[in-house]
A and B are shown apart, each in its own frame.
Chain A
Amino acid sequence: MASRAEARIQNEAKLALKRIELSNRQFAMLLALPVILFLVMVMAYPMGYAIWLSMQEVSFFGGFRTSFVGIENYREALYSDNFWWSVRVTVQFVSVSVVLAMLIGLGLALLMHRVRRGRALLGTIIILPWSMSLYGAGVMWQYLARGQSGVASSLINRMLGRTTPDTAVEYSLISSEQIVNLLALGNAWNLAPLVAFFLLANLKTIPERLYDLARVDRLNIWQRFLNVTLPPLQYTLFVFTTITLILSMKLLDFIFVMSAGGPGDASATLTFRLFDLAFRQSNYGLSAAISFYLLFLIIGSALALFFFWGRRLEDT
């Protein structure tokens, strides 16, 4: 009798175990499922519509009409000088943005890490640019960069001692060849604070004694940076390089407000180009096609970053 009851209990226990046993991966999938479903629902329609649109010729004469043109839009983009110019501008804008954002972020993090007095105030000041909307930032930078009352004009006139209206020269940063770099600087200015705070969190984990070890080993300042400060930052640097890269590639509002792709099309990034094509020139098909080239560029460069950098971090 007793053994039978025992066997039943054991059996039930086994069943119960079987019922709830999920591997970690399965459990993770289960948790992520609602989000994945939601994303698919929200993304699928616009994505599908964009793919469809990129293969249509849209015309507005005599009402909205579309006709299927296959990959013609994709082909047209590749044969267009404007497209390749925009690719060039985008690559320059993104590279300079990422490098500046990381360098400024690292600099600010080191500064906050070392400063003892007024740390809270410093932190508040440093986080401010990040809390500003890109639209507002664009307006501000445009004011700073323009001729007449812009920073460059003011500084140059001050240095040359030209203080009267008839002698003053006008030097607009917006109309210079530096416009893409200037946009990148503004973008980095906005992104760097977040990078700085994450790096600061990493810096705080470095044992102070490691710096003493470096002193006993007579490491110079550069070796010390390389062997003590930098190693714990690598992962954060990689993650934020990827994040700033993607954010910069898809940036539109700041560029739209500050330079509007100009002067001419000097700062027409891919995002600005496809915005312009769609909403100003009503060339929806071509715009949609370019948007997919941009998507490939984003995915491609993120993968490349992972392949050449992120992958190597995993075993450290």
Chain B
Amino acid sequence: MSGIEITNLRKSFGNVKAIEEMTLTIPNGVFCVILGPSGCGKSTMLNCVAGLEDVTSGTIKIGGRDVTNLPPHARDIAMVFQSSLLYPHLTALQNVRMSLKNSDTGAVEAKRRIDHAVGILEIASVLDKKPGAMSGGQRQRVAMAKAIVRNPTAFLMDEPLAALDAALRQSLRPELAALQRQLGTTTIFVTHDQVEAMTLGDLIVVMNDGRVEQIGTPDEIYNNPATKFVAAFIGSPPMNFFEGQVEDLNNGPALRTQYGPIAIPRHLFDRMGGRAHSLGVRPQHIDINRTKTDGSIPGTVFAIENLGKESVIILHDTAGHDYRVLVGPDHGYSVGESTYMCPDLSQAHLF
């Protein structure tokens, strides 16, 4: 049985195309993360699945049932909103109860589910508190409890961790993943944070400008980015791009840059041909030297970010482009030095 199937979904607000075209199948029980920059249509997509927005065209199936024209409460979903929104004047317990107030769940069953949710989320001590008197983490747990008591076919979450501080987010992430695995409920989780996406998702959907850029597992997305956008968006520090023209020269294919040609492995060239114009290399796949070697690119050290166990050296070429290189802590470089970058071409990507 399929969890969520979205087919040819389109959504416009007047002239604004919030979602241009989206087809996505999420298998049952899978944690799917929708990742993309602000304004790319993530929330709109989730609202369409939840039934809070009408679709312009396309169909949405949840648990094999066509729900495209059903109201939110009839879709058998539970939603956690941004900042773990709760009714501000109700206590945690009243908030959780609200989920079942108008459902056909009997009183005994409702109580059993609420007790169960309170147990696994460990919120017994805040049940009488109002959201204003709870910490961000507690609010998030209550919002989760409110969602799971519905026993839904799918969870929909719109940046539930966005308003929390980094430390709390880090501790809640694995809990959320564990909870989802334990419940086995198909989940769509919207975020603009790539770390959240990589750590939580079984499946990641990268969106940009209302379109799907790539669908894949975290590994696939990181190691085989389908587009330059995905390559640039995923990974921290971000991937470096060398711009130029790809040509098949006598001594093999190469990217012609203003600093001379960079040789490209044959298998990469065969996939992209002459259409490509940038070579992407991750910061950990670039070596820097003080001396010029064949195919190296000159760069001046612009800044050094010390991360403790490693450092990021930010280089500028003569045109002022940024390049980031990951080096060990004892690199010995200082700002203003002239260096040469040697990309590891076996780990490069062409776009």
For residues 219 through 242 of chain A, which have their beta carbon under 8 Å from a beta carbon of chain B? 219-220, 223, 227-228, 231-232
Enumerate chain A residues within 8 angstroms of B103, measured Cβ to Cβ.
218
Question: Is B177 among interface residues, defined by CB-CB distance under 8 A?
Answer: no
- Complex interface bits, B75-115 against A, C-beta within 8 A gives 1, otherwise 0: 00111011001111110000000110111000000000000
Question: Is B176 among interface residues, defined by CB-CB distance under 8 A?
Answer: no
Which listed residue (A213, A216, A231, A316) contacts B77, Cβ 8 A? A216
Distance (Å) between the CB of B33 and the closest chain A CB?
A: 20
Interface residue range, chain A? 10 to 19
- Complex interface bits, B218-231 against A, C-beta within 8 A gives 1, otherwise 0: 00000000000000
Grouping DSSP codes into helix (H, G, I), strand (E, B) and loop, the A interface class, with mixed when no group exceeds half, is helix
Enumerate chain B residues within 8 angstroms of A227, measured Cβ to Cβ.
87, 89-90, 98
The residue of chain B having its C-beta at the shortest distance from the C-beta of A210 within the complex is B85
Question: Is A65 among interface residues, defined by CB-CB distance under 8 A?
Answer: no
Distance (Å) between the CB of B248 and the closest chain A CB?
A: 55
Q: How far is the CA of A269 from the CA of B339 in the complex (A)?
A: 93
- A217 near B73: Cβ-Cβ < 8 Å: yes
Question: Is B52 among interface residues, defined by CB-CB distance under 8 A?
Answer: yes
For residues 246 through 299 of chain A, which have their beta carbon under 8 Å from a beta carbon of chain B? none
Which listed residue (A210, A216, A223, A316) contacts B78, Cβ 8 A? A216
- Known contacts A212-B52, A227-B89; is A217 also within 8 Å of B71 by CB? no
Distance (Å) between the CB of B206 and the closest chain A CB?
A: 25
- B81 near A212: Cβ-Cβ < 8 Å: yes
Q: How far is the CA of A213 from the CA of B81 in the complex (A)?
A: 8
- B102 near A209: Cβ-Cβ < 8 Å: no
The residue of chain A having its C-beta at the shortest distance from the C-beta of B147 within the complex is A216
Question: Could you say which of A212, A217, A220, A232 has the most chain B C-beta atoms within 10 Å of its C-beta?
Answer: A217
Q: How far is the CA of A223 from the CA of B98 in the complex (A)?
A: 10
Distance (Å) between the CB of A106 and the closest chain B CB?
A: 17
Question: Is B273 among interface residues, defined by CB-CB distance under 8 A?
Answer: no
Enumerate chain A residues within 8 angstroms of B72, measured Cβ to Cβ.
212, 215-216, 218
Question: Is A46 among interface residues, defined by CB-CB distance under 8 A?
Answer: no
- A217 near B90: Cβ-Cβ < 8 Å: no
Question: Is A63 among interface residues, defined by CB-CB distance under 8 A?
Answer: no
Question: Could you say which of B77, B79, B90 has the most chain A C-beta atoms within 10 Å of its C-beta?
Answer: B79
Question: Is A207 among interface residues, defined by CB-CB distance under 8 A?
Answer: yes
Question: Is B50 among interface residues, defined by CB-CB distance under 8 A?
Answer: yes
Enumerate chain B residues within 8 angstroms of A223, measured Cβ to Cβ.
101-102
The residue of chain A having its C-beta at the shortest distance from the C-beta of B152 within the complex is A216
Distance (Å) between the CB of A300 and the closest chain B CB?
A: 30
- B85 near A219: Cβ-Cβ < 8 Å: no
Enumerate chain A residues within 8 angstroms of B78, measured Cβ to Cβ.
216
- B52 near A215: Cβ-Cβ < 8 Å: yes
Enumerate chain B residues within 8 angstroms of A232, measured Cβ to Cβ.
88
Distance (Å) between the CB of B145 and the closest chain A CB?
A: 14
Q: How far is the CA of A316 from the CA of B52 in the complex (A)?
A: 30
Enumerate chain A residues within 8 angstroms of B73, measured Cβ to Cβ.
215-218
Q: How far is the CA of A218 from the CA of B51 in the complex (A)?
A: 12
Q: How far is the CA of A316 from the CA of B90 in the complex (A)?
A: 10
Please report B residues at the A interface, Cβ cutoff 8 Å.
Answer: 47, 50-52, 71-73, 77-79, 81-82, 85-90, 98-99, 101-103, 130
